[in-house]
Amino acid sequence: MYFCTIAVLVRIIIVHSFKLSPPKKISGPWYYLADGLDSSHPFDTMPSWFKDAGNFVSLAFMNPADLPKSQDPVPEAFKKATTDFQAMGKVVFFSIGGAAYSGNWGSGALSVDSGKKAAALAQKYGVGIEIDYEGGGDNAGILEFIKGFRSECPMGKCLLSMDLYGSPGGAPWQKDLVPKALPPVGVPGQIYGDGNWLDWANVMVIDGQSLQIATKYWQQWFDAKLLNANRTTFGTMGGFASASLGICSGSSSAKTQIDFAVNYLASYGTYGLTSWAVCPPVPYHTTSCADWSPSCNSNAPGFNYMCQKLNAC
């Protein structure tokens, strides 16, 4: 009898010992360092400027198809990066999906079981989970995933987010999903309703857009009045994140653009501003894809500037 009581207490203590506290605001990069378990984007040298690049980093990408198949579908490259970023005090997310894996969600990745597994990984590594389901449409599957995730790690203990399109017209299926998956009130980390919800959504603008276009695409989500801005971040790829304009180089034009974006978003009280940052060369190539520039300023003043402007670091 006493033994049972102690066993129950120990279990309660273990279950409650993990909690990932969300910052008040977030800012930081996506860091593309793996292609699921196939490791086709190995990248083991972290640019030194990363330490000053905000209080948040999302590691891309886990392959959704690995989730139901593998006991621990976390790419090796994520594990060391996670330890390093956490030692810098950052909140780390694992991004599942991305454009390259847009066709890989169909084999059980959007299920209660996969949601549970994602929650177990979130607790094992002390990270948040980001659903980057591109191409989409299986809203019922996403809701099942969220339910499974929350059954293992409730709101207030684990962080769960999802990417939304910022592109012409947005995506109708996402506009249908948002009211079912994102709480209409409250802030990230705060419990809502039955607890089967995302903490926040990120409106991500597709690659190569200028900031003027990006804000136009962000605006449609405000106009649709579907998002609780307190639980929404806004992200870019290319555009003002690119090496020539951007965050990475920290040029004066980047600062002008960051000021514009921060001022624009401030009036809505949004949760943060993020940007795609580093896409390493594929093995045996020296040229890089997307937005990675090896000549990135070693102090990353763009990211650092953005983080300061948002009071996120």
Residue with tokens 């640019």: 47
Per CB under 6 A, 185 contacts ligand NAG: yes
**Three-state DSSP state, 206:** coil
Read off the amino acid at residue 232: T
**Three-state DSSP state, 41:** coil
Contacts of 10 (CB under 8 A, 6+ apart): none
What is the Cα–Cα distance from 102 to 279, expressed in whole angstroms? 18
Nearer to ligand NAG, 120 or 229 (CB): 229
30: closest CA among 251, 291, 298, 278?
278
Per CB under 6 A, 193 contacts ligand NAG: no
Nearer to ligand NAG, 15 or 185 (CB): 185
Binders in 120-149 for ligand NAG, by CB under 6 A: none
Nearer to ligand NAG, 200 or 292 (CB): 200
Calculate the dihedral angle through the C-alpha atoms of 249, 99, 62, 250, rounding to the nearest 10 degrees.
10
Work out how close the CB of 186 gets to ligand NAG at its nearest, in angstroms, rounded to a whole number: 5
Nearer to ligand NAG, 267 or 286 (CB): 267
Binders in 22-61 for ligand NAG, by CB under 6 A: none
Mark out the alpha helices in 182-300 (DSSP H runs).
Answer: 211-224, 252-266
CA atoms within 13 A on the CB side of 152: 20
Per CB under 6 A, 270 contacts ligand NAG: no
Query: Site size for ligand NAG, by CB under 6 A?
Result: 5
Contacts of 262 (CB under 8 A, 6+ apart): 273, 306, 309, 310
Q: Which of 103, 193, 208, 269 binds ligand NAG (CB under 6 A)?
A: 269
Per CB under 6 A, 9 contacts ligand NAG: no
Per CB under 6 A, 228 contacts ligand NAG: yes
Work out how close the CB of 259 gets to ligand NAG at its nearest, in angstroms, rounded to a whole number: 22
Work out how close the CB of 222 gets to ligand NAG at its nearest, in angstroms, rounded to a whole number: 13
Contacting residues toward ligand NAG, per CB under 6 A: 185-186, 228, 230, 269
